[in-house]
């Protein structure tokens, strides 16, 4: 059974999707053992507590140097015996140390079809604002491994979502979550826990 540690910053609907998937048996061979937030006020922490999951908080601003924050987060994740780390709406960029300590063991959910609308500055609602500004007809979500290149790591699963007349960033965000994120993130996590993802260079093969 693999220990899953989920990193969050906000509302935690993706965390909730993971908790529900674990309960209903969609996630095989994995258990959410800890939720770590960058923000002590995050509602995601309530969701964890309501489900009896251990919680912790680590704030970037409590460390003067980024490298000290990076070291502290790496040590915290090691102390939790994390086999898999899931970034579920985690809004702090990860450093080199944590990424190399957990190579191909960190999964992120991004609310667009990478390589569109991704990279630095593309997070949360902004991603949907940009997609609507561009006038694309299809967007979606991507579950991928985290590397030093922001949103550039090996893609595990993607799911497309149609854009409709009258969409606002908020309406689109909700549809992308419901139709894509909440489905593909638990699936990607289960595939990892079942050792069914083979990483070949910057690509993956699902076994
Ligand atoms: C989600 O849409 C997630 O894909 C996005 O933030 C939202 C968090 O919502 N993540 C990023 O933009 C990362 N670049 P949640 O807290 O309700 O899961």
Contact yes or no for 69/164 (Cβ under 8 A): no
Shortest-distance atom of ligand 1 to CA 177: 2
pLDDT at 185: 98
Mutate-to-test residue for ligand 1 from 13, 14, 35, highest number of ligand atoms within 8 A of CB = 14
Peptide bond into 115 cis (omega under 30): yes
Q: Is 144 a catalytic residue?
A: no
10 C-alpha to ligand 1 centroid (Å): 8
pLDDT at 20: 98
pLDDT at 173: 98
Nearest CA to ligand 1 atom 16: 12
> To 10 degrees, what angle do helices 13-23 and 182-193 make?
50
Query: Residue 89: CB within 6 Å of ligand 1?
Result: yes
Pairing of strands 203-206, 197-200: antiparallel
pLDDT at 5: 99
Confidence of residue 32 (pLDDT cuts 50, 70, 90): very high
Kindly state the average pLDDT of the residues 111-129: 98
């Amino acid at each position: 059974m693999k220990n899953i540690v989920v990193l969050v910053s906000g509302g935690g609907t993706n965390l909730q999707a993971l908790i529900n998937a674990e309960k209903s048996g969609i996630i095989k061979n994995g258990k959410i053992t800890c939720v770590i937030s960058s923000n002590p006020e995050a509602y995601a922490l309530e969701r964890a507590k309501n489900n009896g999951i251990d919680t912790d908080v680590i704030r970037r601003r409590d460390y003067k140097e980024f490298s000290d924050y990076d070291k502290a987060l790496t040590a915290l994740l090691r102390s939790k015996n994390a086999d898999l780390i899931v970034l579920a709406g985690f809004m702090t960029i990860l450093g080199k140390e944590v990424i190399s300590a957990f190579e191909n063991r960190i999964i992120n959910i991004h609310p667009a079809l990478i390589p569109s609308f991704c990279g630095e500055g593309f997070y949360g609602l902004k991603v949907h604002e940009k997609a609507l500004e561009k006038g694309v007809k299809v967007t979606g979500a991507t579950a991928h491994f985290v590397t030093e290149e922001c949103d550039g790591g090996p893609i595990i699963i993607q799911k497309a979502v149609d854009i409709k007349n009258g969409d606002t960033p908020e309406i689109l965000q909700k549809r992308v979550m419901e139709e894509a994120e909440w489905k593909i993130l638990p699936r990607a996590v289960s595939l990892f826990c079942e050792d069914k993802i083979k990483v070949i260079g910057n690509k993956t093969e699902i076994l």
